[in-house]
Amino acid sequence: MTAIPLPDGLMADMPARSDRAYVTLVSNDAYLPGAEALLRSLRLTGTDADLVVLHRALDPDAQARLTRLGARMVQADLLPTSEAFDLTHARDALHARAAFTRGGKPAFHTPLDNFIKLRLWQLDYARVVFVDADAIVLRNIDKLFAMPEFCAAPNVYDGLDGFRRMNSGVFTARPDSATFAAMMAHLDRPGIFWRRTDQTFLQNFFPDWHGLSVHHNMLQYAWFAMPGLWDWDQIRVLHYQYEKPWQDHDKADRLRPLIELWRTIARGDPMPDLSRMPGPPA
């Protein structure tokens, strides 16, 4: 692989082909099925933006699978945070202080890796849209490139209190070295604890974040917890927060239509007619 020069901590496998990019993060091989489905879904929307995968040294076979789907691979180191920061945000330490009580995170979820998302502000693009690797894009969302920094949807999936918080599974950004430097200065300070890692940090760093509709980051639990929000005609991005659709898990039966939709995309089939999708449970 011929390395393309990027700021310290990043190494790309090819030059940028556009000034706009959809970016996702694959912190380990366990997220590979999700990233493949996301890339396939984005191409089905007809976008001509670059597709970028930030990753931490995926094995060559995994990288080749994503490259075949049109991804530009950008290897990204962990952020140069302090030992105290790393210990505080390690999986066991973080979950001991802020356990997930509304759903189950898979064993391969590594909270400290989440902060790698901040490296997208180092990328060689004018505008980016970040989408988590456990999401699929159902309709073209290229309009988000024209949105200001920083836009995100609320964290709504089991109650109205979610409208007070953003979810970092989809957001808009403008890469800029000065912004990245300011982020690093704000991120790692004595005694700091970011309860939901990058999500809590980004809401704190961008307190006046612009709200996208819930349909731009529809969280799967809304299917059974807030069915009144569900509208297949409006949903742009479907986000499989907590349990993943490529896992066996105890909510699989309740989420079966959403899992089957993900599997359709993951197989490489055409986008189904969303108007014929079943509605959520009453």
Interatomic CA distance for residues 263 and 265, integer angstroms: 5
Domain extent for 29: 10-276
* Whether residue 101 has pLDDT greater than 70: no
Provide mean pLDDT across the span 202-215.
Answer: 97
282 in a structural domain = no
What pLDDT does 98 receive? 59
Q: What is the mean pLDDT of residues 202-217?
A: 97
Residue 44: inside a domain: yes
Domain-located, residue 75: yes
| pLDDT score for 2 | 67
Flag whether 4 is in a domain. Answer: no
Nearest to 184 by CA among 6, 3, 8, 58: 8
User: What distance in Å separates the CA atoms of residue 55 and residue 63, rounded to the nearest whole number?
Assistant: 9
Q: What is the pLDDT of residue 102?
A: 62
Q: What is the pLDDT of residue 237?
A: 98
d(CA 67, CA 70) in angstroms, rounded, equals 5
> Quick one: pLDDT at residue 92?
76
Q: What is the mean pLDDT of the chain?
A: 93
- Number of structural domains (the chain) is 1
Tens of pLDDT, residues 119-142? 999 999 999 999 999 999 999 999
Q: What is the DSSP string of 143-184?
A: GGGGSPSSEEEE--SSSGGGGGSEEEEEEEE---HHHHHHHH
Measured distance CA(85)–CA(150) in Å, rounded: 25
Q: Which is higher by pLDDT, 101 or 210?
A: 210
In a domain, 222, yes or no: yes
Look at 92 and 242; give whichever has higher pLDDT: 242
Closest listed residue to residue 38, CA positions, set 266, 194, 196, 242: 266
Strands 151-154, 166-173: parallel, antiparallel or unpaired by DSSP?
Answer: antiparallel
Query: Residue 111 CB: number of other CB atoms within 10 A?
Result: 20
Q: Name the residue with tokens 């090819």.
A: 14
Has residue 2 been placed in a domain?
A: no
pLDDT confidence band for 110 (50 / 70 / 90):
confident
pLDDT exceeds 70 at position 109: no
As a whole-number percent, the residues of the chain with pLDDT over 90 amount to: 88
Residue 106 in this model has a pLDDT that exceeds 60: no
Q: Which residue's structure tokens are 């180092």?
A: 122
48 vs 57, residue with greater confidence: 48
* pTM (two decimals): 0.94
Give pLDDT, residue 3: 80
The tens digit of pLDDT for each residue in 212-252 reads 999 999 999 999 999 999 999 999 999 999 999 999 999 99
Q: Are 43 and 69 in contact (CB under 8 A)?
A: yes
In a domain, 144, yes or no: yes
Per 3-state DSSP, what percentage of the chain is helix, strand, and coil (rounded to 5)? 35, 20, 45
How do residues 150-188 score in pLDDT, each as one tens digit? 999 999 999 999 999 999 999 999 999 999 999 999 999
CATH of the domain at 232: 3.90.550.10
Q: What is the mean pLDDT of residues 65-72?
A: 98
At residue 91, the pLDDT reads 76
Task: Please check whether residue 281 lies inside any domain of the structure.
Answer: no
What's the pLDDT score for residue 258?
98
